[in-house]
Structure 1
Amino acid sequence: MKDITVLVSACGAQFMPGLADCLKQNGERNVRIVGVDMGIDKTVLQMVDALYQVPRATDPEYVDRLLEICKKEKVDVVMPFMSAELLPLIDRKEEFEAIGTKVSVSDRHSVEVTNNKYKFYDFLKENGLPVPKFAPVRSADELIPACEACGYPNNAVCVKATELSGSRGIRIIKPGVSRFDILFGEKPNSFFTTMDELLSTLKERDEMPEMMAMEYLPGMEGSVDLIAENGKILYMAYRESTVNLHSIPQAGELKDNKEAYEIAEKVIAALKFTGNADLDFKNDKDGHPVLMEINPRIAATMKIFKEGGLNLPYLRIKQLLGEKLPDVDVKYGIKFKRRYLEMFCED
Structure 2
Amino acid sequence: MTNIYFNRWFSTVYHYMNMIRDNPDGQQFTFYGTHSDPGHISLQACEVTEREPAVKGKEYVDFAVDFCRRHRIDVFVPRLNMLDIAKEIHRFDEIGTKVMVCRDTELLERMMDKDRFYEAMADTGVVPLPEYYVAETAEQFEAACERLERNGHRVCFKPTNAEGGMGFRIIDNAIDPLQSLYGWVGLSISFEQAYAALSTVERFPKLMVMELLEEDEYSIDCISDAQGQLIAAIPRRKSSGRIYVMDDKPELAEIARRTAEYCRIPFAFNIQVKYNKGVPKLLEINPRMSGGLYLACLTGVNVPYLAVKALLGQPVEPVVPRLGIRASYLEWPVLMKDHEELPIKN
User: What TM-score, normalized by structure 1, do the two folds share?
Assistant: 0.88
Q: Which among 137, 157, 160 is matched to residue 159 of structure 1?
A: 157
Q: Is the 8 Å Cα contact of residues 304 and 334 (structure 1) preserved in structure 2?
A: no
Q: Residues 126 and 339 of structure 1: is their aligned pair in 2 closer, same or farther, counting only changes over 3 Å? A: same
2:264 corresponds in structure 1 to 272
Structure 1: give runs of 5+ residues left out of the alignment: 245-249
The alpha-carbon deviation at position 96 of structure 1 amounts to 0.5
The answer for the alignment partner of 2:310 in structure 1 is 319
Q: Which runs of 5+ in 2 are unaligned?
A: 340-346
**Equivalent residue, structure 2, for 1:256:** 248
Contact 1:154 1:175 in 2 (8 A): no
Instruction: Quote the Cα distance in structure 1 between the aligned partners of 2:218 and 2:93.
Output: 35
1:301 aligns with 292
CA contact (8 A) 1:220 1:282 kept: yes
Which residue does the alignment assign to 2:88? 92
Q: CA RMSD in A?
A: 2.2
Please state how far the C-alpha of 1:46 moved relative to its aligned partner.
2.7
Residue 7 (structure 2) aligns with:
9
Distance 2:98 2:306 in 1: 14
Give the C-alpha shift of residue 339 in structure 1. Answer: 2.0
Classify 1:142/1:65 alpha carbon distance in 2 versus 1 (closer, same or farther; 3 Å).
same
Specify which of 61, 64, 84 is matched with residue 62 of structure 2: 64
Q: Which amino acid aligns with 1:268?
A: A
Distance 2:172 2:40 in 1: 43
Match of 2:280 among 289, 296, 300: 289
Partner Cα distance (2:40, 2:212) in 1:
41
Task: Report the Cα distance in structure 2 between the residues aligned to 1:338 and 1:331, rounded to whole angstroms.
Answer: 18
Whether the 8 Å contact between 2:301 and 2:321 is mirrored in structure 1 is yes
Q: Is the 8 A contact 2:58 2:84 kept in 1?
A: no
Task: Provide the rounded CA distance (Å) in 1 between the counterparts of 2:154 and 2:289.
Answer: 30
Letter in 2 for 1:328: V
User: What is the correspondence of 1:61-210 to structure 2 with a 5 Å cutoff?
Assistant: 61-82=59-80, 85-106=81-102, 107-129=104-126, 130-151=128-149, 154-180=152-178, 182-183=180-181, 187-188=184-185, 190-210=186-206
- The number of equivalent residue pairs is 334
Describe the superposition over 1:87-127 as per-residue Cα deviations: whole angstroms up to 9, x where unpaired.
11111111101111111111112211211111121112142
The residue type paired with residue 284 of structure 1 is N
1:132 deviates by 0.8
How far apart are residue 305 of structure 1 and its match? 2.5
Partner Cα distance (1:204, 1:251) in 2: 41
Contact 1:96-1:103 within 8 A present in 2 as well: yes
Query: How far does residue 43 in structure 1 lie from its aligned partner after superposition?
Result: 5.0
State the shift of 1:204 in Å.
3.5
Counterpart code for 2:329:
R
Q: Tell me the CA shift for residue 24 of structure 1.
A: 1.4
% identical equivalent positions: 24
State TM-score, norm by structure 2: 0.89
CA displacement at 1:157 relative to structure 2: 1.0
